[in-house]
Amino acid sequence: MERRALHQEMFELCTANAQVPIKNPLDTLEKWLQKTNIRLTQVNGQRKYGGPPSVWHGPAPGSNCEVFIGHIPRDMYEDKLIPLFSSVGPLWEFRLMMNFSGHNRGFAYAKYGSAEIAQAAIHQLHGHMLEPGVRIVVYPSTEKRQLWITELPMIVQEDQLFKPLGSSMASTSQSTGTPKYKHIKDFLACTSHGGQAHNNPCDRLGSVGLKSPEPRVRIRNPAL
């Protein structure tokens, strides 16, 4: 509620002297949500629809079913984006990356029921003009489900990392090291790309006293 109030205050200040009334995009989003009964869930810096949606027929998507969407205006939301990407085929999931100001971060992910529909979305919507002078980019999404954690102090135990990093992780650790540091290769295999990609693992590792020296965390595709 505080974020919405701050966003509303900023909007009113910016439009106070405008001669033509300007619609608040958050108000438009709220009306669209009420009209469609669509539910959005915000978690870990992203706002998510579906995964699966309330009505879904068929199996869960496999690989190559997700697309990356970039160059989204920061004040554009799901009321414009979900209908656009649903026009290609039914969405299994749509994730819009958000920041603390209430604006989006300029990119999102859309997941479909098949790789063929995802390819159709790329073909039809890459370069689509969202508003004058603004064209989105749509590319295949590389689903990175593993974290590499290196330069951990030797005293750190693997079970210390699971609690702050959450239940979406499963250990596949291969530990090596030097007299000073421990390197855990492929340590954390995530159950989903969305479960880790925006979970800010470095911040979470700080809760187990790993700020100094700070561990190095890399996200990778297990297929590579």
- pLDDT tens per residue, range 168-220: 555 444 445 444 444 544 344 454 555 544 445 554 444 444 544 555 555 55
Total number of domains in the chain: 2
Residues 13 and 64 in one domain: yes
Which CATH number do you get for residue 157? 3.30.70
Beta bridge mates, 181:
153
- pLDDT tens per residue, range 78-113: 999 999 999 999 999 999 999 988 899 999 999 999
CA 13/CA 15 separation, integer angstroms: 6
Show which of 111, 140, 169 is a domain's final residue. 140
Crossing angle between the packed helical segments 25-36 and 2-15, to the nearest 10 degrees: 130
Residues 193 and 125 in one domain: no
Range of the domain at 57: 2-140
Residues 209 and 128 in one domain: no
Residues 9 and 43 in one domain: yes
**How much of the chain is helix, strand and coil, in % rounded to 5?**
30, 30, 40
Residues 71 and 135 in one domain: yes
